Amino acid sequence: MKAKKFIDLNCDMGESYGSWTMGNDAAIMPFVSSVNIACGFHAGDPNIMMKTIYLAIQHGVHIGAHPGYPDLAGFGRRAISMTPKEVYAAVLYQIGALAAIAQARGAKLHHVKPHGALYNLAAKDKVYADAIADAIQALDSSLILYGLSGSELTRAGKDRGLSVFHEVFADRTYQADASLTPRTEPNAILKTVDAAIAQIVRILQTGEVITVSGDALPIEADTICLHGDHEGAAEFAKQIQQQLTDFDISIR
């Protein structure tokens, strides 16, 4: 594989709600090229959505919808029993809401990335992956679908002629089937910036990721996800951007 010379760096944002604050969007925004904005189901609300879109416009960052399960209490990380038809409607509703706010601000959506438990379900379950891809295609087929690299979700997007970005994670570990290690397991998160940077640089230079079992697994990467909902996230984003630049890999 030819080493990557540029990569998209995305971050989940707009996940505050009312007077409750999640993350530090303003501090992270200068270091990323795309943001995935919560659409009010797992987090966010209309005011937060407007504020986050405005912040993204100020920094020239691509705006994406981040639809999830209707689960504010569980932050969208719990599996909710919904039919594929219900998932289709929920995703369409959320993308449409964010698209309307973006349009009112003079901006346009660039992509869609499902959130949390819905993202993980669609990575493995063809039926739900198809429902999400169908919703995106029905609303705006020019939107890019962000999905776990090599997953059912990226396959569903390709099958429908959508542009697809294969997503990899800087701070998550991988299983032998290319899925992410569940957050319930103690080794799910890479604890240091150095470990995260080493993983990302290896992926971009060799097209491989080392799984938790120590095996090298082929993986495709178009975008890297950073998580903005933990302490030190802004410094983490800054260091990753700088380290990638040092390796002659541009963020764009």
Please, what are the domains in the chain?
Answer: 6-251 (3.20.20.370)
- Whose tokens are 């943001």? That residue is 35
Contact between 112 and 63 under an 8 Å Cβ cutoff? The reply is no
pLDDT digits (tens, 9 = 90+) for 33-62: 999 999 999 999 999 999 999 999 999 999
Does an H or E element contain 104, and which?
Answer: helix 84-104
pLDDT digits (tens, 9 = 90+) for 82-123: 999 999 999 999 999 999 999 999 999 999 999 999 999 999
Query: In 10 A of CB 27, how many CB atoms?
Result: 14
Contact between 174 and 217 under an 8 Å Cβ cutoff? The reply is yes
Comparing CA positions, the residue from 65, 62, 58, 66 lying closest to residue 9 is 62
Q: Model-level pTM greater than 0.85?
A: yes
Say what the pLDDT of residue 229 is. Answer: 66
SS3 35: strand
Q: Within 13 Å, how many C-alpha atoms sit on residue 24's CB side?
A: 13
DSSP result, 44-58: --HHHHHHHHHHHHH
